[in-house]
Structure 1
Amino acid sequence: MLDKTGTLTEGKPAVSAITSLGHEELEILQIAAAVEKTTSHPIAHAIIRKAESLILSIPVTHGQLAEPGSGTMAEVNGLLVAIGKLKWVQERFQQKTDLSDLMALEQSVMHKSLQDSQSSNHSTTVVYVGREGEGVIGAIAISDKLREDAESTISRLQHKGIETVLLSGDREEAVATVAKTVGIKDKFVNASLTPQQKSAAISDLQASGHRVAMVSDGINDAPSLALADLGIALQVEGQETTASNAASIILLGNKLSQVLEALDLAQATMAKVHQNLSWAVAYNVVAIPIAAGVLLPNFDFAMTPSISGGLMAMSSIFVVSNSLLLQFHGSQKKRKENLTYKHAQKEQ
């Protein structure tokens, strides 16, 4: 299972478009930046960076409240302002914006965003801004580039017989576009999920007898990483988060392709453990009876302390040498996999 934002994408979002209903676009950005200033989500950072680049004065807020996976709200200039998912923002206020206006707002911001990014290799998230007494008053498009290794990593995971499932809190259209680009099947795409719903999806698969690995950059996904049989977190810009603490594996290089390397290394390590255990059992089955004197009556042979010590040393050398061979596993495995993957591509 993979998260979208920051996992399949680079995790470096930027504001690509702003639209509004009867307000200046800079005003929408200004109050959005004010609400997001105390949050740590990458989308919030993108909005704040945009406001700072335009040298906007960011108002002081009061009563900050964040709901992970949904949005953030605070009092700005005496009025409650909310920013986040459309449904969540709409529910914060008694005044509702007309559906036709919301559709026009979304179409406008997406059109502007596509013109700005000028690339299909981007994932675009739309967050909505609402204000007390007015309802939804604007929308901000945040674009993030897909990782260069996203498509190849998904393809190689599938080639190894591992099903890939996409979990995201983003809207269905954006998630479906990313899934199609990287090669994840439609039936394995789940959009508009809260952090709790992501955890529920993992529990459902585990209840069906599946072993689940969750891959995420960690934003809002600590419960899912902890619940999965294997939690894999990408460490973004060397930062340590609650999610990285909950994960079983942390990818320090922040590369999605390292998921494959981690799985291969884990398999190779367990193979060495089994080899060393097999050797230890076989060694002891043979050596212990000899040390006890089973050969003494018929062959007049008994182990001396020097012989016993030498055999123990040889056993230890074998185990350590066999384990040290792991350092050559990565390069050999990678060359072999590249050849197999290229051969499979040619056949297709």
Structure 2
Amino acid sequence: MKQKYDVSGMTCSACQLAVEKSVNKLESVSDVSVNLISNTMSVEFDDSKISNNDIIKAVEAAGYGAAIKGESQSAGKAMDREDPYEIELAKMKYRLVYSLIFMIPLFYIAMGSMMGLPQPAILTGTENVLIMALTQILLTIPVMIINSQFYRIGFKALMNRMPNMDSLIALGSSAAFIYGIMVMYKMAYGFGHGNIEEVAHFGHDLYFESTAMILVLITLGKYFEARAKKRTSSAINSLMDLTPKFATVERDGVQVEIPIEEIVIGDVILVKPGSNIPVDGKIISGQTTIDESALTGESIPVEKSEGASVMAATTNKTGFIKFEATHVGEDTTIAKIIELVEDANTTKAPIAKLADKISGVFVPTVIVIAIITFITWMVKSGNLDTSISMAISVLVISCPCALGLATPVAIMVGTGKGAKLGILFKSAESLENLHNSEVVLLDKTGTITTGEFNVREVVSNKLSKDEFLKIAASMEKNSEHPLAKSIVRYAEEQGLEIEEAKNFKALAGLGVIAEVKGKNYLTGNLKLMMEEEFDTSEYDNYIEEFSAKAYTTIYFADEDSVIGIISLSDTLKDSSKEAVEELKSMGIKVAMVTGDNKKTAETLGEQLGLDEVYSEVLPAQKEQIVREHIEKGQRVCFVGDGINDAPSLARADIGVAIGAGTDIAIESADVVLIKSSLLDLINAIKLSKATIRNIKQNLFWAFFYNTIGIPIAAGLFFNSFGLKLNPMLAAFAMSLSSLFVVTNALRLNFFKGISAK
């Protein structure tokens, strides 16, 4: 089974790795993915061998907290859950404010005299230096208690031999605090033995303000980071906010207002103009225009009347409607979109594995470097104050926050931006890999074309047009194929009486066999006619003419011979030609895969300027074409409607489903384009490229920062250039590094997709 958990206490990529390692040690755990930004974990395991409690205990053993995600919430209430980023921000604000209450007077007392600021008489002079030291320690301890999480998690991780960012902070600030206590002892010894000069000397060596300042600056950085992380989730939060908390429902002829989690399938819901739709449903009375831009990105409102479907989180613009609830809670379109975006954030992009590998050895390496720095400076200078200062600076500036944030924060912003544009990435891996596509294979019906067919020609050399059309419509009445529905609709428009066919049997990728008025008929493509050895030559001239117009032609035959043909045209989407041109300009090869006859397919291919056309292809053969391209070493993106294209969507390196209307599309595809526009494929590829570029910038900064920062903190450039970092500056620099990474990722919110010309 697959289960999601909320994880608390993580602060860096080393924390993330520690949780993953601890859970991976459990028997029957097949996959673990921890997300540092959302503080969530997704685990696949055999629930017959281990339980949720075993997994939670494994997380706690690593020094962190865990709980089943949304355990206390119902499906409907999941839409109204408290924002975890808001909670994190509130905690950080609390810690920051109360830390500053003690930190400001501490800093004034410790540094005020150096800045020429007035000081209370009781804290000035060598005779009062112990009083000043006691005052400082009393102001430092509350700051340490308020930020005790650093020590609790950091030292526990250290004992588990999986040190993390908190371990570095805990070691650095503890070293400064302990050194300050040692200095107090030396001052007390000096007073007791009359060595006032030593007392005066050590009076300037207290490190209590550095202890508190490290904690406050790190917390300040975390506060700004939490604010920025909250902005990264704005896309999901804005979608959640669009769903109303209450709805007016008609039950037993009485209108009642109830919370949306109490709506059940079949309820009749009333929506006034200007109100948002609470759940998915079908209109049973009234007509209106619906603004679906929140889900589809399409700014033009859509006209809706009786029988039309409506989706939760869309806005009723003009008319009063009643509709019947068809999907509620987590089954609504908006809930599935939110779930897909959140799932994408719990997965890990391949590029993130680089940061994980480094994090596994980074923190232990930093601790070793800090120890070497301390020993080296003690040997070189013999000055304990300088040696401790250098070692603490190394520990603090090396905190791998920026490294851990580099990938997940960009993924979160990227997937959130995609959701706003109507592009759903099912995983971080699909977001990373999409822009690497070398070949795009496009299904025709519903992808390049609208899938809405119109009958253009009806030809029969044996029967009258009406008689032939009645037989054809009777055969197609029970079929779900778009061509069949168009023929039935056309016959009904002609006022013809359609019979009920018997012994209906669909032949996958070929056609249909049925009995009408006691006689057997079959209908389908040329391949079916050839298999049944029917002579189609008398219709060849018609076929050639219709194919030149890119019509799709269906053959009809009785038990003896072909009785006629019907040609239909599918409307080319306005965006298809522009999308193909854009793909080719990006250096991507574009091909079409269709079951249409060769002439029709080639005509359409020429209109669009496709590189290659595969025609007369059965559904099973589409998957084979995808496989052949992959075997050639090409990275393949297959785009289809997600129904009969499921095998191809699954086989391709990246499967892209047009439209989110079917569960099959969501299951089979890696990326779902909610709108039926191929231009969104261009937007998805460009967003993928922008996100990966952003991640690489973040990783470069994180590596570059530590590459430069650690040597400076260790004092390698002190003798040559006088460069030195005290612990307070190191803490400030570390916080700025994390803030830079998060802010850089937020630039993805400025990504603008292209729209039809």
TM-score of the aligned structures, taking structure 2 as reference length: 0.38
Instruction: State the partner residue of 1:108.
Output: 542
Matched, 1:225 2:659: no
Give the residue type in structure 1 aligned to 2:552. T
Q: Where do residues 113-152 of structure 1 align in structure 2 (5 Å cutoff)?
A: 123-131=550-558, 133-152=559-578
> How many angstroms does 1:284 deviate by?
4.3
SS at match of 2:630: helix
Deviation by residue 1:286-340 (Cα, 9 ceiling, x = unmatched): 56778xx7359x7885525x963x4454333222221221122325xx59xx9xx
Separation in structure 1 between the aligned mates of residue 626 and residue 730 of structure 2, nearest angstrom:
55
Distance 1:56 1:39, change over 3 A: same
Moved runs in structure 1, 4+ residues, more than 6 A?
none
- Confirm or deny: 8 A CA contact 2:553 2:565 kept in the other structure: yes
Distance 1:49 1:182 in 2: 29
Q: Which amino acid in structure 2 is aligned with residue 103 of structure 1? A: S
Q: Could you give the per-residue CA deviations for residues 244-281 of structure 1, whole angstroms, max 9, x where no partner exists?
A: 53122222221122221111111111111222222233
The partner residue of 2:492 within 27, 42, 52 is 52
- Matched residue of 2:538: which SS? helix
Aligned match of 1:86: 526
Match of 1:314 in 2: 736
Q: CA deviation at 1:10?
A: 2.4
Superposed displacement of residue 176, structure 1:
1.0
**Contact 1:90 1:135 (C-alpha < 8 Å) held by counterparts:** no
What is the aligned partner in structure 2 of residue 4 from structure 1?
444
Which of residues 128, 143, 164 in structure 1 aligns to 2:590? 164
Aligned residues: 312
**Counterpart-to-counterpart distance in 1, 2:668 and 2:451:** 19
Distance (Å, rounded) in 1 between the aligned partners of 2:539 and 2:613: 26
In 1: Cα distance, 2:742 partner to 2:488 partner: 53
**AA in 2 matched with 1:17:** E
1:203 CA displacement: 0.9
Contact 2:448 2:576 (8 Å CA) reproduced: yes
Q: 1:35 to 1:314 in 2, by over 3 A?
A: farther
Q: Which amino acid aligns with 1:127?
A: I
8 Å CA contact retained: 1:90, 1:130: no
Shift of the 300–280 alpha-carbon distance from structure 1 to 2, 3 Å rule, reads closer
Post-superposition CA distance 1:136-163 (Å, at most 9, x none): 2111101112223322222222121111
What's the offset of the Cα at 1:285? 4.5
**Contact preservation (8 Å) 2:602, 2:613:** yes
Look up the equivalent residue of 2:714 and give its one-letter code: V
Q: What is the match of residue 249 of structure 2?
A: none
Distance 1:285 1:31 in 2: 78
| Counterpart selection for 1:198 from 622, 626, 631 | 622
Q: Does 1:207 align with 2:631?
A: yes
- Structure 2 residue 688 is matched with structure 1 residue 266: yes
Name the amino acid aligned to 1:196: A
CA 1:280–1:143: 2 relative to 1, 3 Å: same
1:240 and 1:218 mapped to 2: Cα distance?
Answer: 7
SS in 2 for 1:203: helix
Residues 121-140 of structure 1 deviation map (CA, whole Å, 9 limit, x = unaligned): x6310011122x22321111
**RMSD of aligned Cα (Å):** 3.0
C-alpha distance 104-66 of structure 1, shift in aligned 2 (>3 A): same
The answer as to whether partners of 1:8 and 1:147 remain within 8 angstroms in 2 is yes
Is contact 1:71-1:89 (8 Å) kept?
A: no
Q: Secondary structure at the match of 1:215?
A: strand
> Are the aligned partners of 1:68 and 1:220 in contact in 2 as well (CA < 8 Å)?
no
Q: Aligned partners of 1:250 and 1:16: how far apart in 2?
A: 33
Say which structure, 1 or 2, has more relative contact order (CA 8 Å, 6+ apart).
1
Query: In the TM superposition, what whole-angstrom CA distance separates every residue of 1:37-90 from its partner, at most 9, and x where no partner exists?
Result: 333322122112112212322222333322332212233333332221123145
Q: How does 1:302-341 map to 2 (within 5 A)?
A: 302-303=726-727, 308=731, 310-330=732-752
Aligned to 2:662: 240
- The aligned amino acid for 2:514 is A
State how far apart, in whole Å, the 2-side matches of 1:300 and 1:281 are. Answer: 20
Is 2:453 aligned against 1:13? yes
Which of 62, 71, 74 is matched with 2:502 structurally?
Answer: 62
- Is 1:184 matched up with 2:610? yes
2:506–2:512: 8 Å Cα contact kept in structure 1? yes
Query: SS of the residue aligned with 2:638?
Result: strand
Partners of 1:295 and 1:302 within 8 A in 2: no
Letter of the 1:231 counterpart: G
Q: Can you give the 5+ residue segments of structure 1 that lack an aligned partner in the other structure?
A: 115-119, 339-348
Contact 2:643–2:662 (8 Å) recurs in 1: no
Contact 1:218 1:243 survives alignment (8 Å): yes
Larger radius of gyration: 2
SS in structure 2 of the partner of residue 7 of structure 1: helix
- Is the 8 Å Cα contact of residues 642 and 662 (structure 2) preserved in structure 1? no
Q: Contact 1:28 / 1:129 at 8 angstroms: preserved in 2?
A: no
- 3-state SS in 2 of match to 1:81: strand
Where does residue 155 of structure 1 map in the other structure?
581
> SS at 1:23's partner residue?
coil
In structure 1, what is the Cα distance between the partners aligned to 2:553 and 2:632? Answer: 34
Whole-angstrom CA distance in 1 between matches of 2:471 and 2:478 = 13
Change (3 A) 1:288 1:31: farther
Residues 4, 167 of structure 1: 8 Å contact kept: yes
SS where residue 567 of structure 2 aligns?
A: strand
Q: How far, CA to CA, are the matches of 1:301 and 1:325 in structure 2?
A: 30
Counterpart-to-counterpart distance in 1, 2:555 and 2:513: 12
Query: 1:48 is paired with a residue of what secondary structure?
Result: helix
Measure the CA separation in 2 of the matches of 1:330 and 1:136: 54
- Give the deviation of 1:192 after TM superposition: 1.1
| Conserved? CA contact 1:3–1:168, under 8 Å | yes
Cα distance per residue 1:155-175 (max 9 Å; x no partner)? 222121111122211111101
Judging changes above 3 Å, is the alpha-carbon distance between structure 1 residues 317 and 80 closer, same or farther for their aligned structure 2 residues?
Answer: farther
